[in-house]
Structure formats: structure tokens, C-alpha cells
Amino acid sequence: MGHPDGQPVRRTQLNTELGGSSGARLARTVLDEVGLFLDDTVSTMRLWIERQSGLLPEGFRADVRAWLIVLLEGSARTKARSESTLYAYFGRVRPHLLAWSETRNQLREITENDVSQVLDALSGHQRAGTFTALRSLFQFAKRHRLIFADPTRRLSVGRAPRRVLQPMTDAKIAEVKRTAVTPEQRLVVALAAVYAMRASAIRHLTLGDIDLPSG
């Protein structure tokens, strides 16, 4: 490849020269083991972070970008989080950052009262999820000395209420039984009934309702 001795080899260069061949994978492994492999590609999530943080007001942009990158890649003190967590956390904090930006110029200006007002306007899972995301952001900012004080430190919203599964009504049960006409469908309905039907309805289920195939 005409590469200078002792200089790292970039992934993009390997991809150009060797493509996706097994030789390219072997070369990456060997180069990585001797400390000469440099991954200069940008992941889809990194592009998403750059795009989304770039749409925030200037005073919040860099701090939120750094927070999202640590969530994505982890650090010496924290584990990497899933992509779905990044989407959820950013989705929770974004509208409040935009609202705060009308009177605040940067994260360090956000007060405990600002966060309390946001949480007081929410309830249930939305309130708990928003608090978790905001706490993650401000704990990161405090740890990296981007803010003087964590405005979420003394706040608590408790646990989110549990989602209660409601039993099916008799009318719904009858409708499902009419719809499930094949033996396979009726078997699925019978298995699901343990979680969805009232105990009295389950007790009255008969093999005729299930219509299991013979043999």
C-alpha cells in the first residue's frame, strides 16, 4: 500500500485497498494488536449525535454532544448505553433545553427550581423518565466540571407507577374465540388466556374451546 513504516493504518485506507475481504479483517486484527490500527470511520450513531446536538442552541450544544458521546461509548466510570437509551434520553431533555434557552445561555445557569417546574408539569412514567434523563445529563456535566452545581441532586420523583394489565372482558374473550378458527390459533389463545382472562373464564375453558389437533 506504500504506507510509511511505524505509522498507523486507517480503516478507510484498508477498506479502499482490501474491501471487505477476509484479508482485510485479518489485517485489522494484526494491526490492532500491535497498536497500528486507527479506526477513522464515523458510526451512524455518531452522525446522529452530531446532527441532533448541532440543532441545539449554541450554549448547550457542546455539553450535550459530549454527554451523548459518553452515553454511546462509555468511559472509565460508566458503561456504554444502548442506542435506544440515547434516543429516549435525548428525546426527554431536548424540549426542556429549548425552552430553557429562551432565558438561559448554558447548562450551568439551569437551577433546581427550573428542573422542579419541568417535573411538576409531568406525571407517571413521563415524569420519571424525564427526571432520569435530566439527572444523567447534569451528573455528567457536574462530573466533568461543566457546571458548578447539579440542579437534580436534591430532587426525587420516586418510582414510576407499575403498568397494570387489565383482564379481558367477557365480550372480548368471546370475540377472540370467534376469530381464532384454526387449531394453532386456538392454542395460542388458550396459552395467552392465562395472562389475559379472569380466573373464572379460564376455569370454564374446555378442550372443545381449544380444539387441539389429534395425534
Average pLDDT of the residues in 123-152: 96
Q: What is the 3-state secondary structure (H, E, C) of the chain?
A: CCCCCCCCEEHHHHHHHHCCCHHHHHHHHHHHHCCCEECCCCCHHHHHHHHHHHCCCHHHHHHHHHHHHHHHHCCCCCCCCCHHHHHHHHHHHHHHHHHHCCCCCCHHHCCHHHHHHHHHCCCHHHHHHHHHHHHHHHHHHHHCCCCCCCCCCCCCCCCCCCCCCCCCCHHHHHHHHHHCCCHHHHHHHHHHHHHHCCHHHHHCCCHHHHCCCCC
Does the pLDDT at position 213 exceed 50?
no
pLDDT digits (tens, 9 = 90+) for 30-80: 777 777 766 666 678 999 999 999 999 999 999 999 999 999 988 888 888
Q: Looking at the predicted structure, is the pLDDT value of residue 100 above 90? A: yes
Query: Could you give phi then psi for residue 115, rounded to 5 degrees?
Result: -70, -40
Q: Quick one: pLDDT band at residue 158, thresholds 50, 70, 90?
A: confident
The pLDDT score that the predictor gives to residue 157 is 85
Q: What is the pLDDT of residue 75?
A: 83
Q: Sign of the CA dihedral 58, 63, 69, 71? A: negative
Domain boundaries, the chain: 9-38, 44-143, 170-210
Cβ within 8 Å of residue 11, ≥6 positions away = 28, 37, 38, 39, 40, 41
Looking at residue 207, what is its pLDDT?
43
Which neighbouring-strand residues pair with 9? Answer: 37
Decide which of 55 and 203 is more confident.
Answer: 55
Parallel, antiparallel or unpaired: strands 9-10 and 37-38: parallel
Mean pLDDT for the chain overall: 80
Cα separation of 88 and 202, whole Å? Answer: 38
Residue 215: pLDDT over 80: no
